[in-house]
Amino acid sequence: MNLAAVVLRLTSAGLFVGACAPPATPITATGPSARITRGAPSPVAPASVAAALPSDPIDVAVTVDDLPRHGPDMPGVTRLSIHERMLTTFAKHKMPPVYGFINAQKLEEHPEDRAALVAWTKAGSPLGNHTYSHPDLGHMALSDYLADVDRNEAALKELMGDGKEATRAWKVFRYPYLREGVDVAQRAVIRAELTKRGYRIAQVTIDFFDWAYNAPYARCVAKGDDKAILALKESYIDQAAWALRWADAAARELVGRPVKQILLLHVGAFGALMLDEMLTTYEKNGARFVSLADALADALYTEEPKSPKAHYGNFLNQIRKARGTRSPVFPPPPDTLLDLACR
């Protein structure tokens, strides 16, 4: 499929209807061309989802990974400006404090990025631990991985403080690549080690591969291809909405109730550009933003999905895999568009 066809397919999706009304109707998790409806149940909605008729808001804690830099450098866009743009947008939407998960190794090569982390904390948003160097657990010894977790703490202490309350605030951990271990046994060991160190684990239930848009966006800006940039923007919003819809459907189907969702974003130029529209889209579709601490109090996050293949990725999807069910089908990334755009 060429890019024009991909663009046509993705931009014809037309996802959203309604204004700021609460989501008093079923949400289907059928794909990017599905609408979030506010009328009769879709004939393709899973029965359990359609029957739930959600009238409550969908609680969503927004989190941001890979501070202070993610994605390619772009002319005229500093890392500080990306952070500031996100913080300004969070304030505009009256969000509770949004956790940013840091890899302090990035400061070795770019000490100037420290200003971005300071801006984050000055805005009242906390920082959490995403390891020092963003290692992949699949390719290293467990002891080295835990040492990498510990090594990140000096920067967190310096930026967030080392008093009792401050330490409790930054002792929140996000797994790089959402990989919890090479298998379920290793996951249990790492969880125990993190708990011993006083960490809470920030799982993710809404993940729409936002990070993958930054590289094609940089290519398209360099080429001045406005049409392709528009396609990326529309795809980004479609994928974000699909992920929200999937997560709510998955909670109802797999857990039997709405849960407090945790959204994963990354601190890249494209995500910062799209953040306002993305948050507005979520609001229009019933999202109510809550703090990460509030979300982590949900009993969902004490679960340990038991399956040989359920030890990484979206937490609700881990539960789905552990149950051995295909439903609801997890939204894939729009690889073709992202691969072909502005090559």
- For Zn ion, give the closer residue by CB, 36 or 264: 264
Cβ at position 229, least distance to Zn ion in Å? 24
Partner residues linked to 262 by β-bridges: 61
From residue 222 to residue 261, what is the string marking binding to Zn ion with x (rule CB under 5 A)? Answer: ----------------------------------------
- Terminal CA-to-CA distance of the chain, rounded, Å? 14
User: How many Å separate Cα 256 from the centre of its chain?
Assistant: 22
Which token pair is 229?
């940039």
- For Zn ion, give the closer residue by CB, 178 or 229: 178
Cβ at position 227, least distance to Zn ion in Å? 30
Neighbours of 138 (CB within 10 A): 11
Is 148 among the residues that bind Zn ion (CB under 5 A)? Answer: no
Residues 57-96 that bind Zn ion (CB under 5 A): 65-66
- For Zn ion, give the closer residue by CB, 66 or 148: 66
- For Zn ion, give the closer residue by CB, 32 or 181: 181
- For Zn ion, give the closer residue by CB, 50 or 170: 170
Question: Residues in contact with Zn ion, total (CB under 5 A)?
Answer: 3
Is 210 among the residues that bind Zn ion (CB under 5 A)? Answer: no
Alpha carbon distance 55, 31 (integer Å)? 22
**Helix or strand holding residue 92 (H, E):** helix 79-92
Is 153 among the residues that bind Zn ion (CB under 5 A)? Answer: no
Partner residues linked to 287 by β-bridges: 58
244-245-249 Cα angle (round to 5): 115
Cβ at position 59, least distance to Zn ion in Å? 23
From residue 290 to residue 319, what is the string marking binding to Zn ion with x (rule CB under 5 A)? Answer: ------------------------------
Name the burial class of residue 2, with classes exposed (0-12), middle (13-18) and buried (19+) by CB atoms within 10 angstroms of its CB: exposed
Compute the residue count for the chain.
343
Name the burial class of residue 280, with classes exposed (0-12), middle (13-18) and buried (19+) by CB atoms within 10 angstroms of its CB: middle
For 183, the 3-state DSSP assignment is coil
Q: What is the DSSP letter of 251?
A: I
Cβ at position 134, least distance to Zn ion in Å? 6
- For Zn ion, give the closer residue by CB, 180 or 238: 180
Cβ at position 262, least distance to Zn ion in Å? 14
- For Zn ion, give the closer residue by CB, 65 or 298: 65
Q: What is the number of the residue whose Cβ is closest to Zn ion?
A: 65
Which token pair is 41?
């149940």
From residue 162 to residue 181, what is the string marking binding to Zn ion with x (rule CB under 5 A)? Answer: --------------x-----
Q: Which residues bind Zn ion (CB under 5 A)?
A: 65-66, 176
